[in-house]
Structure 1
Amino acid sequence: MGSRKIHHKNLVKTCMAIIIRRSYHQILEEDCKISTDEFNVPLATALKEVKRKMNIDMKKFLTLIMDLDLVRRQADSLGATSRIDGTRSSALEIILDELTYNIHDLSPFLMAFSEPRWKLEVILQYLSKYCMKASVRTRRANIPNEITVDSVLSNFSTTVNAKTIAKKISSGIFQMLLAHLFQACLSIQEDNCTDNSTKKTGNTLSEISKKFVFAIQNLRETEEGLEIVSFVKEALFTATLLAGKIGNDDVLIQ
């Protein structure tokens, strides 16, 4: 059983490594190198396509693993599993551990991993380490307390709260996480995902947008000269439009 745990963990870590290597910025860099290579152009083009498809397949495969973990967890909560099924860390737990200890992989992974339902869950669970109280787990269900986008954003409702939380990592990382969180919410709304995914937002899209704008504003006040990257600016622009605040908050996206 021990070997199963090791293999499962290594499998998830390998999937993550492939996804991270083929993140958006690295794709641009590799494509530029290929385009300047005057030799073996067909081979270079084919290699680029193979890498692109492998990245897509790895994301689908990782999503499938996480879906299976969810089914297993639900079966366990109903007492439908036995000792022969063994125990192991879920893919979600492994991903969270890897991103916690390798924080430099956080942005590339979130940029590349686009499945909104699980992306939302990854970010919520990651932020809960810094924003929420420790979760309470039952003996069989092993399911953390419900965490929503609304409850996470509420942690940044004041400058004092935002400053306290920002000390744990940095304001820049938190603004990046919140921007990805907001974008995942938009994707879930657009894709008409399951009711469970919709419940994860915890409020209307308009209210979520308002809280996101205020959260970024409060984070900016915690660190003088904090740079807002283009990805966060785009999320802010969308949020201000949805919240009906574009006239008052132009300063946030400048």
Structure 2
Amino acid sequence: MEKGRINRGCMEANTLAIIDSSAEFHNHKDSQEAKDDRIDFLEAVRTASVVPENGTPPTKKMVDAVFTILRAGESLELIMSSYELLNEIEMHFPRVYISESSGNAPRELVVVKEAWLPFMVSLDVMSSEKETDRRKSCPLLDPNGFHELILGLAEMAYKTASQRLDTKFLGNMLLFQYLVNVLEGDFVPHINMYKESLNWNILRECTLNMLLASRRINYKVLMKDCLYTICALCQDYAGNYNESECSETSSEKSSENHNTDVAIALFEVQRATCMAMQKLLIMSMELDMSKQQAHMLCLTNRSRSDGVRTPVVEIVLDELTYHRNILPTFLQVFNDPKWKLEIIVQYLLKYTKPSVRTRRSNGPSENSTFLGVLKSFSDSSSSRNIIKKLGVEVVQLLLAHAFLAYMSMASQQHLAAMPDCNEAVLDSSSVVEISKSVAAAFNSLREVDEKIQISTLGKEALFTAAIIISTL
């Protein structure tokens, strides 16, 4: 035990030395000795806290130092090592979890108050001078810093393959992935306990809710930036990836900067970052849905965190409506079937039966389900009106993606086993009835436009529908 305390004291001293020498590290970016010190420190933290079966959590100063290494790391080894260690710490020492029930005692949400958190969320407004001083002295991210990180990713994502071949860009993507992992680890137990207890106070206090309610960010702009960053980051593997061009530019850049390892890692990290951005949007949508329920049950109050804000789904719908050029990419890369189906149904409702349901209404209508939307294509006259507004390519794209999302949910037995599903999307319609309606909708499109070219995805949807119908 005494030896453990001595080792911990040495690591604390090493931590302070790393923090104090950060300025020197930036002035000597190629200092192998400085990099070796940090690698040794990361390994020491892992050995002391993660490797042992009953390891003790690292102190806040130690995790602060690991986080600082990730944010300022100038080598791929430092970036990857610090990123992996932070995720291991998060997994081994969760800050939030649900206690197991014993006897008649209900389960409880446990929040380890003294645990380290990479965010500094507060609804208070600082002066610009205090804000600058705080940023210089603290490695943590406030809501504005989180938004700036996303903006930086968006800017880099739209650049060429050779311009993106940058260690800092790679590090920022991994930083964002880690931050989303932290938000998810905090959000999931909070929302699960809310669903069990319907105690809104539990979900109100989650980090994601405090982040989105902060005065430091423009919530709608943040959500829009997330949407566009998803489309930008995923453009390489969403059908726009020129492998030969990327290979040539990557090889040229690698030979110049000796960044071959970065070139190899960049593509997969970019894909994972896109999925992390999608996860952030989905958690925000789930938060919106729970908050709407809490409003209806009169569980909320007049505080800023409970204030009315535009639901994420509406923000996404508006952007997809007014910037239709991103619609195909978004539908291709956004792979959560529940929310994908919800977004498509609401999108089509804007052009099919807009008078059925107002944007702010709380309850679903009979025609706001997927089947209700499909019935709008039951005759050539209504189909012609929809095609006139959207175009035949967009219509079949929406129908195909919606049906495949519906089938994905059915295969996961979500139709019968998800009490929290959005009633506006899911109804009691059978898969067979939906399949027949999808086939009828495509036939209606053919009647309106005899020269229609059915897309590959449309053919996949029709083939799936035909297989299901043939089982009768």
Q: TM-score, normalised by structure 1?
A: 0.86
Counterpart of 1:221 in structure 2 is 447
CA contact (8 A) 2:238 2:333 kept: no
> C-alpha deviations, 1:27-61, integer Å up to 9, x for none?
65154433344342322111112211101111111
Percent of aligned pairs with the same residue? 36
- Structure 1 segment 198-217 matched on structure 2, within 5 A: 200-217=426-443
| SS state at 1:164 partner | helix
What residue in structure 2 maps to residue 29 of structure 1? 241
Q: Higher RCO, 1 or 2 (CA under 8 Å, sep at least 6)?
A: 1
Quick one: distance in 1 between partners of 2:218 and 2:322?
Answer: 20
Q: Which residue of 2 aligns with 1:243?
A: 469
> Are the counterparts in 2 of residues 150 and 203 from structure 1 also a CA contact under 8 Å?
yes
The equivalent residue for 2:407 is 186
Q: How does 1:58-69 map to 2 (within 5 A)?
A: 58-69=277-288
Q: 1:231 to 1:25 in 2, by over 3 A?
A: farther
**Runs of 5+ in structure 2 lacking a partner?**
1-122, 124-212, 255-259
> What SS does the corresponding residue of 2:453 show, helix, strand or coil?
coil
Contact 1:5–1:89 (8 Å) recurs in 2: no
CA, structure 1 residues 114+232, in 2 after alignment: closer, same or farther (shift >3 Å)? same
Pick which of 90-99 and 48-57 moved more.
48-57
TM-score under structure 2 normalisation?
A: 0.48
CA offset at residue 160 of structure 1? 2.0
Find the partner of 2:323 among 102, 105, 108. Answer: 102
Distance in 1, matches of 2:282 and 2:450, equals 39
* Residue 135 to residue 83, structure 1, CA distance change in 2 (3 Å): farther
* Equivalent pair of 2:238/2:332 in contact (CA under 8 Å): no
Q: CA deviation at 1:231?
A: 1.2
Instruction: Tell me the residue number matched to 1:159.
Output: 380
Alignment check: 8 A CA contact 2:226 2:281 kept:
yes
Of 12, 20, 32, the match for 2:231: 20
Say which is worse superposed, 141-150 or 67-76, in terms of deviation: 141-150
Counterpart of 2:289?
70
**Match for 2:269 among 50, 53, 66?**
50
Structure 1 residues without counterparts, runs of 5 or longer: 246-254
* Aligned match of 2:365: 145
**Larger mean Cα displacement after TM superposition, 38-47 or 11-20:** 38-47
- Report if aligned partners of 1:149, 1:202 keep a CA contact under 8 Å in 2: no
Is the Cα–Cα contact under 8 Å of residues 171 and 222 in structure 1 kept in the other structure? no
Larger Rg: 2
Q: CA RMSD in A?
A: 2.6
Any idea what SS the aligned residue of 2:299 has? Answer: coil
